[in-house]
Amino acid sequence: MNEAQVDAAIERALQANAAQPTAADAYEKILPSVVHVRGLMTEADEAKEGDKAEDKAAAEGNVGTGVVIVETGVILTNLHVVNGAKRIKVTFFDGLEADAEVIGTRPETDLAVLQAKKIPDDLVPATLRSTNGIRPGDPVVAVGFPFGIGPSASAGVISGLKRQYESQGRRVLSNLIQFDAAVNPGNSGGPLVTLEGEVVGIVTGLLNPTEQRVFVGIGFAVPIENAAAAAGLSPF
């Protein structure tokens, strides 16, 4: 074995022994970019904004998640979270609450783009990653506010690609990422990330044959290329 072969063998051994990222690492990296989104649908919802937390939560019309993609406060979320809302409220990672407005929609992919009217001083946008090269079996982490609780993390794998999904009351969505990380109502609009904390999709729905709206093992996300296009971005 010559010197070059020895060096190559050493490099391979070092890479094999290097610490691999975990779901905890992914959660910590994406967390500063995750926001709680609330679509207030009625005047009663708006009136409850000043009440104590438990009353306010009970009054909120639509509760979901969003992810910051531009440091000026541009946020991606699901259209069904904010559609028809009289007022949209977002809460950032540091607890700052702000009003937001819809600046773009893409109904065919159930996506909405929000602009927060006030942002933290140290707001960090998420890192987006192309879905090119991702495969069934690759680990992913979903971060959001299931049932308004969070931010919460759940880990799993990509189960399939280019899936089609039709949810109750909404159009058929296609070219979706299927995954098995647990998600529930409130996760909608949140990021699906790799173990490196890079966003590959926006969670949009969960498959459920019952009316209970609880997770049974199949979730769907819009590929980040489609989501970025909704915001007028071409990141790849």
User: Which residues pair with residue 11 across a beta bridge?
Assistant: none
Task: Check if 36 is active-site.
Answer: no
Q: Which residue out of 36, 80, 152, 159 is catalytically annotated?
A: 80
Task: Check if 110 is active-site.
Answer: yes
Task: Check if 154 is active-site.
Answer: no
Q: Which residue out of 33, 36, 45, 110 is catalytically annotated?
A: 110
Q: Which residue out of 152, 154, 159, 188 is catalytically annotated?
A: 188
The residues annotated as belonging to the active site are 80, 110, 188
